[in-house]
């Protein structure tokens, strides 16, 4: 077990939308789930470093939604941007997108923040 865990606050970056989100992993929800391809994104790594959560590459294997403390995506606006909020998983998009597309109804400021860079993640 990685704990004890710490809280972080994640604010929208320039041109971004939503948030701020407060993320605190738990033993039941330890994963900083990175769905960006090409390895762990620096934003996911920063969240893991500050919270003590466990980085997990969603392209290498899969994990149940209930284990995910936060999903980090690099979505251009339609697919990944909606799937995790639809499952009530807090979601961080490194691109500055706003709710759109067929899944937009699920994307709320309580669950979603975008345009996030590593500096937008701070200890809470």
Partner 1 sequence: MTAPARYRTEVLAVGSMIPEFREAGLLVFFAEQAPRELHDIVVLHRPSVADSAPEPGDVFELDGERFTITAVGSVVAENLLRLGHVSVKADGAVTAALPGDLNVSVGRLPLPVPGSTMRIVAADHPGDRAGQTEEPS
Burial of 40 (0-12, 13-18, 19+ CB in 10 A): middle
The verdict on 91 binding partner 1 (CB under 8 A) reads: no
Contacts of residue 119, defined as CB under 8 A and 6 or more positions apart, other chains included, come to: none
Q: Which of 106, 80, 105 is nearest to 92 (CA)?
A: 80
Of residues 10 through 39, those in contact with partner 1 by CB under 8 A are 35, 37-38
Does position 59 interact with partner 1 (CB under 8 A)? The reply is yes
Q: Residues 12, 35, 75, 116: which is the catalytic one? A: 75
Cβ proximity to partner 1, 6 vs 95, nearer residue: 95
Verify binding: residue 65, partner 1, rule CB under 8 A.
yes
Of the candidate residues 54, 103, 118, 124, the single one contacting partner 1 (CB under 8 A): 103
For residue 82, give the DSSP letter.
Answer: H
List the one residue out of 57, 55, 91, 54 whose CA is nearest residue 73: 91
* Structure-block tokens of residue 19: 């948030």
Interface positions with partner 1 (CB under 8 A): 35, 37-38, 58-59, 62, 65, 74-80, 82-84, 87, 95, 97, 100-103
Residues belonging to the active site = 75
């Amino acid at each position: 077990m990685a704990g004890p865990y710490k809280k972080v606050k994640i604010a929208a970056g320039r041109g971004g939308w939503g948030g701020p989100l407060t993320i605190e992993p738990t033993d039941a929800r330890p994963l900083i789930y990175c769905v960006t391809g090409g390895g762990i994104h620096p934003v996911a790594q920063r969240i893991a470093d500050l919270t003590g959560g466990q980085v997990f590459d969603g392209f290498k294997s899969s994990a149940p939604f209930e284990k995910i403390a936060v999903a980090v995506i690099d979505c251009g606006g339609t697919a990944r941007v909606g799937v995790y909020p639809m499952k009530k998983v807090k979601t961080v998009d490194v691109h500055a997108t706003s709710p759109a597309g067929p899944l937009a109804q699920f994307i709320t400021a309580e669950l979603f923040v975008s345009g996030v860079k590593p500096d937008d993640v701070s200890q809470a």
